[in-house]
């Protein structure tokens, strides 16, 4: 059994998959007597972490690694001498190369102990989407994999092997291309149809990087910091949002059937881990 009593799990989820995985993981860990507190990213990195606590982070894979602001968050973690254990969970549609190794390096350099990492195949939300039958089959398989992972974590039977250091450079290059090329370019392609938009502001509240502002006339406008998480376009209640650049790279319309927009809004969730 693991000796740690608590897990603080920081998650980001664009269309619900990663939050769903985080919740199932928390339920599974509870069965082994470990409480898991789920906290939304972005938020400030944790300060002092108790000795009986495991830090966990969960995110969707974007361009073979974590979303840029999640990478920034990991890089901003304070250095520690406590060897705090870290668990990493990611969700992806089928191919992810630059997640495990580079983050092992990063965390070890900061004094953390990379304890366990697992990537869960979940329904795709980007280039293509499946029907709900296939999506729920994928979720059922993921549920079994999450239960396995939780059992391994609680039994202390996990490994997180390192990878060659050159992958760190590849990860940085992938991030740079994604952040400055595709992402900004893509973000500026958003439009709200004024005939459909009710000026409710939900898209602005959902955006993890404050890339959406309501203009003087109350309609949303998009800046250049988009991370392509697809939240705004997916959850707009009147389907008022389109992106004329999207048909080249993305397929909007998927969302995890068991997660609602309200679950993803930052203000609705605790931001610190003092209220555990
Ligand atoms: C911008 C973007 C990039 C993605 N890149 C990858 C990728 O490189 N490999 C992959 O397997 N899936 C990729 N996906 C698919 C997501 O990782 C996958 O569907 C994930 O479970 C979505 O999680 P979420 O619902 O929590 O946002 C990408 C999705 C988006 C939106
Ligand atoms: S969520 Fe949709 S309806 Fe609401 S402000 Fe944004 S674009 Fe308009
Ligand atoms: S603008 Fe939309 S797609 Fe881009 S980061 Fe914000 S919510 Fe996500």
Identify the weakest region by mean pLDDT among 42-46, 66-70, 161-165.
161-165
**Banded model confidence at residue 129, pLDDT cuts 50, 70, 90:** confident
| For the chain, percent of residues with pLDDT exceeding 90 | 64
Ligand 2 centroid distance, CA of 130 (Å): 26
CATH of the domain at 154: 3.40.50.360
Reference 22, options 13, 34, 32, 33; nearest CA is 13
Arithmetic mean of pLDDT, 79-96? 93
User: Does the CB atom of residue 61 touch ligand 1 within 6 A?
Assistant: yes
Please list every protein residue whose CB sits less than 6 Å from any atom of ligand 3: 187, 206-209, 211-212, 222, 226-232
Is the pLDDT assigned to residue 252 strictly greater than 70? no
Position in ligand 2 atom list of the atom nearest CA 235: 1
Q: What is the pLDDT of residue 273?
A: 46
Position in ligand 1 atom list of the atom nearest CA 91: 21
Whether 189 maps to a domain, the answer reads no
| ∠ Cα 73 75 81 (to 5°) | 110
Q: Which residue has the higher pLDDT, 20 or 242?
A: 20
Q: Which residue has the higher pLDDT, 89 or 265?
A: 89
Q: What is the pLDDT of residues 188-240, one digit of tens each?
A: 889 999 999 999 999 999 999 999 999 889 999 999 889 999 999 999 999 99
Counting the structural domains of the chain, the total is 1
User: Does the CB atom of residue 94 touch ligand 1 within 6 A?
Assistant: yes
Arithmetic mean of pLDDT, 12-21? 97
String of DSSP letters for the chain: --S--EEEEEE--SSSHHHHHHHHHHHHHHHTT-EEEEEESSSPPP-S--TTEEEEEEEE-BTTB--HHHHHHHHTSPP-SS--EEEEEEEESS---SSHHHHHHHHHHTT-EEEEEEEEE----SS----HHHHHHHHHHHHHHHHHHHHHHHTT--------THHHHHHHHHHHIIIIIIIHHHHTTEEE-TTT-----HHHHH-TT--EEE-TTS-EEE-S------HHHHH-TT--EEETTHHHH--TT---TT--HHHH-GGGS--SSTT-
Identify the weakest region by mean pLDDT among 2-11, 89-98, 138-147.
2-11
**Banded model confidence at residue 3, pLDDT cuts 50, 70, 90:** low
Whether 53 maps to a domain, the answer reads yes
- Look at the block and give the residue holding tokens 């992402």: 183
**Measured between alpha carbons, how far is 17 from 42 in angstroms, rounded to an integer?**
17
What mean pLDDT is reported for the chain? Answer: 89
Whether 251 maps to a domain, the answer reads no
Whether 17 maps to a domain, the answer reads yes
Whether 104 maps to a domain, the answer reads yes
Whether 178 maps to a domain, the answer reads no
Residue 249: burial class (beta carbons within 10 Å; 0-12, 13-18, 19+): middle
Is the pLDDT assigned to residue 245 strictly greater than 60? yes
146, 21, 70, 174 alpha-carbon torsion, rounded to 10°: 70
Is the pLDDT assigned to residue 246 strictly greater than 80? no
Please tell me the number of the ligand nearest to residue 251's CA: 1
Q: What is the pLDDT of residue 85?
A: 95
Is the pLDDT assigned to residue 274 strictly greater than 50? no
Range of the domain at 19: 6-167+264-268
| For the chain, percent of residues with pLDDT exceeding 70 | 91
**What are the angstrom distances between the C-alpha of 174 and each of 61, 62, 97?**
12, 9, 11
Cβ–Cβ < 8 Å for 259, 16: yes
Is the pLDDT assigned to residue 96 strictly greater than 70? yes
pTM (two decimals): 0.94
Is the pLDDT assigned to residue 133 strictly greater than 60? yes
Whether 221 maps to a domain, the answer reads no
Arithmetic mean of pLDDT, 171-176? 87
**Banded model confidence at residue 276, pLDDT cuts 50, 70, 90:** very low
Whether 49 maps to a domain, the answer reads yes
């Amino acid at each position: 059994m693991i000796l740690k009593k608590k897990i603080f799990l920081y998650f980001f989820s664009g269309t619900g998959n990663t939050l769903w995985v985080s919740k199932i993981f928390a339920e599974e860990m509870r069965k082994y007597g470990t409480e898991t507190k789920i906290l939304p990213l972005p938020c400030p990195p944790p300060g002092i972490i108790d000795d009986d606590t495991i830090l966990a982070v969960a995110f969707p894979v974007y361009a073979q690694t974590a979303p840029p602001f999640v990478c920034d968050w990991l890089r901003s973690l304070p250095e520690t001498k406590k060897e705090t254990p870290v668990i990493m969970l990611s969700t992806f549609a089928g191919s992810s190369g630059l997640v495990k190794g580079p983050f092992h390096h990063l965390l070890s350099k900061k004094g953390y102990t990379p304890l366990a990492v697992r990537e869960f195949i979940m329904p795709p939300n980007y280039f293509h989407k499946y029907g709900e039958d296939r999506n729920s089959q994928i979720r059922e398989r993921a549920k079994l994999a999450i239960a396995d992972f939780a059992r391994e974590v609680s039994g202390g039977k996990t490994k997180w092997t390192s990878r060659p250091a050159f992958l760190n450079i590849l990860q940085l290059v992938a991030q740079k291309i994604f952040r400055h090329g595709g992402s900004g370019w893509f973000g500026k392609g958003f439009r709200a149809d004024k005939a459909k938009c009710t000026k409710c502001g939900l898209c602005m509240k959902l955006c993890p990087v404050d890339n959406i502002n309501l203009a003087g006339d109350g309609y949303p406008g998009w800046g250049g910091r988009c991370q392509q998480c697809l939240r705004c376009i997916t959850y707009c209640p009147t389907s008022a949002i389109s992106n004329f650049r999207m048909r080249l790279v993305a397929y909007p319309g998927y969302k995890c059937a068991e997660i609602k927009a309200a679950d993803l809004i930052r203000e609705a969730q605790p931001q610190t881990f003092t209220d555990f």
